[in-house]
């Protein structure tokens, strides 16, 4: 069974007298446990795509099934259950709450999902044991992003959606973050979708989806993906 199945998804913004097709008849699927890269230039529709998959935005037409659930027809309440239960998000700017400690930021997930994993367990997974009582501004950008990954996986989501997770980081730290996401995919069998401008990620991805002007211009399957550390960045 596919974990993501998008069929003929369109998203139109009506601005003044003009309609902007952020997505136009987009269809693709993702297998469970795949590491998928969504690549394309600025304005291509990548974030819109991820936001629809994550239940943050709604398609105007088409169907989207994620982890066995059709999400395009859900009510607001059902969508919020879907976001809380099935998807983990990692954003470019971490979105940590500055007045909460690292542990408290991760523990917030328990408010969304009762069976969320303990903060200590997920912080260990991202190499941040011992940083539980620090506040976000006492951490480097890379460490803050690792907290946001820990927070995302605490929900034990079916799918991890990452929008430019390395966009605010230097290339070495960015590689380390990609390695963490890649390991979550390979070792913990998480399905990871990652939106990025960095085309080199294609060498490490199982699937590469190319987007331009709201349309899919190609889907490539990589039969011999490299490890993140083997890619020349
Ligand atoms: N709220 C909005 N109102 C009007 N147009 C929008 C809105 N949000 C996005 N768009 C338009 O939809 C298109 C796709 O935007 P989107 O943010 O999905 O692209 P992107 O590929 O993620 O770009 P970037 O790499 O720069 O983040 C763009 O043309 C954008 O200007």
Q: What is the CATH number of the domain that holds 38?
A: 3.40.50.300
pLDDT of residue 112: 87
Q: Is residue 181 a part of any domain in this protein? A: yes
Which two tokens mark 66?
Answer: 């994620």
Q: Is residue 171 a part of any domain in this protein? A: yes
Grade residue 178 by pLDDT with cuts at 50, 70 and 90. very high
- Per-chain mean pLDDT for the chain: 94
Q: Is the CB of 47 under 6 A from ligand 1?
A: yes
Sequence-separated (6 or more) residues with CB below 8 Å from residue 56: 83
How many domains, in total, are found in the chain? 1
The domain in which residue 90 lies consists of 33-59+83-230
CB 204 within 8 A of CB 227: yes
Three-state secondary structure readout of 109-159: HHHHCCCCCCHHHHHHHCCCCCCCCCCHHHCCHHHHHHHHHHHHHHCCCCE
**Tens of pLDDT, residues 60-110:** 999 999 999 999 999 999 999 999 999 999 999 999 999 999 999 999 999
pLDDT of residue 114: 86
d(CA 71, CA 75): 9
Q: Is residue 109 a part of any domain in this protein? A: yes
Q: Is the CB of 48 under 6 A from ligand 1?
A: yes
Q: Is residue 131 a part of any domain in this protein? A: yes
CB 136 within 8 A of CB 147: yes
Residue 13 carries which DSSP code?
E
Q: Is the CB of 45 under 6 A from ligand 1?
A: yes
Residues in the chain: 233
Q: Is residue 12 a part of any domain in this protein? A: no
Q: Is residue 20 a part of any domain in this protein? A: no
pLDDT of residue 1: 86
Q: Is residue 70 a part of any domain in this protein? A: no
Q: Is the CB of 44 under 6 A from ligand 1?
A: yes
Instruction: Give the up-direction half-sphere exposure of residue 107: CA atoms within 13 A in the CB hemisphere.
Output: 8
Classify the complex by whether its ipTM is higher than 0.90, answering yes or no.
yes
Question: pTM, whole model, 2 decimals?
Answer: 0.94
pLDDT of residue 198: 83
Q: Which atom of ligand 1 is nearest to the CA of 15?
A: 4
Q: For a ligand 1 pocket test, name from 26, 38, 42, 44 the mutation site with the most ligand atoms within 8 angstroms of its C-beta.
A: 44
Among the listed residues 95, 190, 187, 98, the one whose alpha carbon sits nearest the alpha carbon of residue 145: 95
Q: Is residue 215 a part of any domain in this protein? A: yes
Q: Which atom of ligand 1 is nearest to the CA of 214?
A: 14
Q: Is it the case that residue 111 has pLDDT exceeding 90?
A: no
Task: Kindly state the helix (H) or strand (E) to which residue 218 belongs, with its residue range.
Answer: strand 215-221
């Amino acid at each position: 069974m596919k974990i993501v199945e998008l069929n003929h998804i369109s998203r139109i913004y009506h601005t003044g007298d003009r309609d902007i097709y952020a997505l136009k008849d987009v269809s693709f699927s993702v297998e469970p446990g795949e590491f998928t890269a969504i690549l394309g230039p600025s304005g291509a529709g990548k974030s819109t795509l991820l936001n629809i998959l994550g239940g943050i935005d709604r398609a105007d037409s088409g169907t989207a099934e994620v982890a066995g659930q059709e999400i395009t027809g859900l009510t607001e309440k059902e969508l919020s259950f879907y976001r809380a239960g099935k998807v983990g998000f990692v954003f470019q700017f971490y979105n940590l709450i500055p007045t909460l400690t690292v542990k408290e930021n991760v523990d917030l997930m328990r408010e969304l999902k009762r069976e969320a994993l303990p903060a200590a367990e997920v912080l260990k997974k991202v190499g941040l044991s011992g940083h539980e009582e620090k506040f976000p501004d006492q951490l480097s950008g890379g460490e803050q992003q690792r907290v946001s990954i820990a927070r995302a996986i605490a929900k034990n989501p079916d799918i991890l959606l990452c929008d430019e997770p390395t966009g605010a980081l230097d290339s070495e730290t960015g590689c380390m973050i990609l390695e963490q996401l890649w390991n979550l995919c390979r070792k913990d069998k998480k399905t990871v979708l990652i939106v990025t401008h960095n085309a080199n990620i294609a060498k490490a991805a199982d699937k590469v989806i190319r987007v331009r002007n709201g349309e899919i211009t190609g889907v490539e399957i990589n039969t011999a993906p490299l490890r993140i550390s083997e890619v020349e960045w």
